[in-house]
């Protein structure tokens, strides 16, 4: 299970033990100023695995497609939180989350009041 921490100036995404093993990553820090867009999307596109795990719909790790860098931590193609970033190691972060609507709303509220 992922943990999302809303800090004063950044979002911290911590993966569970199993997700850390599958995706070869434990935490990702994203300054709010780097978030260009946030959405909830169904993600059915094929991505080239750079490192991590890809079995069916399950994707954990670093992926690339058409020059775009992705970090994906999801076991489903439906209802994932998608962060579109600027000036970050990843161009997009795709996450499967419990209570995705709540996290989406909270992040939108923060971004609407955060001065970039």
Q: What is the pLDDT of residue 2?
A: 83
**Which pTM does this prediction carry?**
0.88
SS3 content of the chain, % helix, strand, coil (to 5): 20, 45, 35
Residue 52 vs residues 1, 10, 18: alpha-carbon distances, Å = 17, 25, 12
pLDDT of residue 61: 87
| Tens of each residue's pLDDT in the chain, 116 residues | 788 999 999 999 988 766 555 555 788 999 999 999 999 999 877 777 777 787 777 888 889 998 999 999 998 889 999 999 999 999 999 999 989 999 999 999 999 986 55
Q: What is the pLDDT of residue 43?
A: 83
pLDDT at 15: 84
Task: With beta carbons less than 8 A apart as the criterion, state whether 49 and 60 touch.
Answer: no
Model pLDDT, residue 32? 95
């Amino acid at each position: 299970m992922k943990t999302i921490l809303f800090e004063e100036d950044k979002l911290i995404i911590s993966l569970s033990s199993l997700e850390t093993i599958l995706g070869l990553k434990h935490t990702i820090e994203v300054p709010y100023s780097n978030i260009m867009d946030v959405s909830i999307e169904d993600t059915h596109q094929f991505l080239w695995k750079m490192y991590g795990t890809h079995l069916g719909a399950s994707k954990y790790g670093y992926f690339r497609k058409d020059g775009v860098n992705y970090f994906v931590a999801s076991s489903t193609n439906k209802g994932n939180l998608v962060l579109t970033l600027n000036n970050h190691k990843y161009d997009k972060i795709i996450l499967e989350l419990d209570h995705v609507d709540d996290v989406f709303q909270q992040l939108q509220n923060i971004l609407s009041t955060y001065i970039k």
